Amino acid sequence: MTKRVLMRSVLGAAVLAAFSGGAFAQGAPIKIGLLATLEGPFAAGGADGMRGAELALLQRGGTVAGRKVEIIKASSNANPDVAVNATRKLVEQDKVDIMVGPLSGGEGIAVKDYSKTQPGVTFINGASGAQATTLVNPSPNFFRFNTEGAQWMVGLGKAAYDKGYKRVMVIAEDYAFPYSQVQGFMSEFCRVGGKVPVKAWVPLGGKDYASTIARIPKDVDALLVVLGGADAVNFLNQYEAAGGDKPLMGGSITVSQDILNYRGKRRDSLVGTIAAGPLADTFDGAEWKAFVADYQKNFPVSKGGFPSPSLFALVYYLNMKAALDGLEAVKGDLSGGQLKYREALAKLELKGPTGAVKLDGNRQAIGTTFVTEVVKDSKGDLSTRVLKKVDNVEQLLGIPKDQFKVGSRDEPNCP
C-alpha cells in the first residue's frame, strides 16, 4: 500500500516567537488541515505548495482575529483515493475546522465529492486545476481561489499560431488536469486555424516515453508538452537522448520552478519555450516582487526553496491566504455551521501577488493568466518572462455557456 506521511505542525520558530512574552492568542486554536503531494511524481511541487501555504500564515504571525492557527499536515501521492483517505483522517479524526488541499486534478474532484458529506467543514482548494472540480456538480462548501488548468492556458493558442506553429502534437498525462490544459489551449488554437493531428495521452507516473516519441509526426511544427514533476523530467531526458528537435511548448506545470531547476542537459533546450500559467517568474508587479522576496527570505535555496516560488507555492499561498482573510472578516467566528464564514469567502476579493482574485457563482476563481517564455540568466538559472498578461479570465473562457464543453481526451478536437 502507498505509504502516507502524516505530520502535525504549528509552524517554525519564527511563528512560535510571536507567541512568547505572554502574547498568546485568545480562544481555542483554529485547526486547518493542509494536504499536498509529498510522494509520487509531484513531490517537489507538493513540498513547495506547503511552503506557500505556510508563508501566508507566517505573514500573520501565526494568528488570525486574535486566535492561534494550528496547521495539521497530510501527504498524498496524486492518487484520488489516497487524497480522500488523508482528508478523511484530517476531518474525522483530527477534527480540523477548515481543509486546504489537494494538489492534483483528479484528487481535487475526489475531495470535492467528499466535501459534500461533511457540510460542517469548509474546504478550500490547494493547487488542483481540473475544470470539473467546480464546473461539474460543484459542492456548496468547496472553494477554489486559484484559476484552473484551462484558464491558465488562455493566450497560448494564439501565441503559438503567431509564432508559426500551425500543426501541433499534444503529449499529456491521462487525467483530469491535463484534459483541462489541453482544452484551454486547443479552444483558442483551433479557433485561429491551428490543427492538432495527434494527441498522446500517457500514464501519470510513467517512466518510458520511447513509444510516444516514436509517434511524433515529421510534419508537426511543435509539441505541446503537458507533463509535470518527475514525468516532465523523464520525458525531457528521453527526448534529448532520442535526438528530438521539435520546438516545445509547455503546460503550466511543465515550466514551473520545480522543473526549470532540475539538472539535466535537456534543461537548457527549454530556453525559448513558450507556455502559459498563473505566474511569470520575472513579472515586475510590486506585489509579486514583495511575495518573491518574502518567499526567498523564509525559504532560501540553502533550505530547500527554489530561486523563485513555483506555481504550487503561489497557488497554495492564494488559497491559504483566502482561508485566513475569510476568518479575519468574520473575526474567527465559525459558529452556525460556518455559514457566515462561507458567505465571507464568497464575497472576498483576494489581493494576490499577481492581481485581484474574485469568485464566480460556483466558488471558482476569476483571475490573471500570463503567456510566458523560458529565459536563462547570467547565473545559469532558468525562469519565465512575460509575453502577455491577461486579466479577469473566467472559467468558460469567453465561450457561450451552451457551447462550452468540459475538456476530455476527445474534446476539443481539430485534426
pLDDT tens by residue, 236-257: 999 989 999 999 999 999 999 9
Type and span of the H or E element at 34? strand 30-37
- Residue 125 and residue 173 in one domain: no
Say if 415 falls within a structural domain.
no
The region, left, alpha or beta by phi > 0 then psi within -120 to 50, assigned to residue 72 is: beta
Antiparallel, parallel or unpaired: β 355-359 and 350-352:
antiparallel
130-167 pLDDT per residue, tens: 999 999 999 999 999 999 999 999 999 999 999 999 99
- Measured over all CA atoms, what is the biggest interatomic distance in the chain, rounded to whole angstroms? 70
Angle at the Cα of 18 from the Cα atoms of 126 and 93, rounded to 5 degrees: 45
Write down the pLDDT at residue 266.
Answer: 56
The three-state secondary structure class of 3 is coil
Say if 411 falls within a structural domain.
no
Say if 299 falls within a structural domain.
yes
- Residue 211 and residue 347 in one domain: no
Q: What is the mean pLDDT of residues 67-79?
A: 97
- Residue 250 and residue 395 in one domain: yes
- Residue 260 and residue 167 in one domain: yes
Which pTM was predicted?
A: 0.92
pLDDT band at 24 (very low <50, low <70, confident <90, very high): very low
292-340 pLDDT per residue, tens: 999 999 999 999 999 999 999 999 999 999 999 999 999 999 999 999 9
Q: Contact 62/15 with Cβ under 8 angstroms?
A: yes
Instruction: For residue 4, give Cα distances in angstroms to 82, 114, 230, 244.
Output: 8, 19, 19, 37
User: Beta-strand (E) ranges in 128-166?
Assistant: 142-143
* Main-chain phi, psi angles of 404, to 5 degrees: -80, 135
Q: Domain limits at 274? A: 151-282+369-403
CATH number at residue 200: 3.40.50.2300
- The pLDDT > 70 percentage for the chain reads 93
Residue 86 has pLDDT above 60, yes or no: yes
138 preceded by a cis bond (ω within 30 of 0) = no
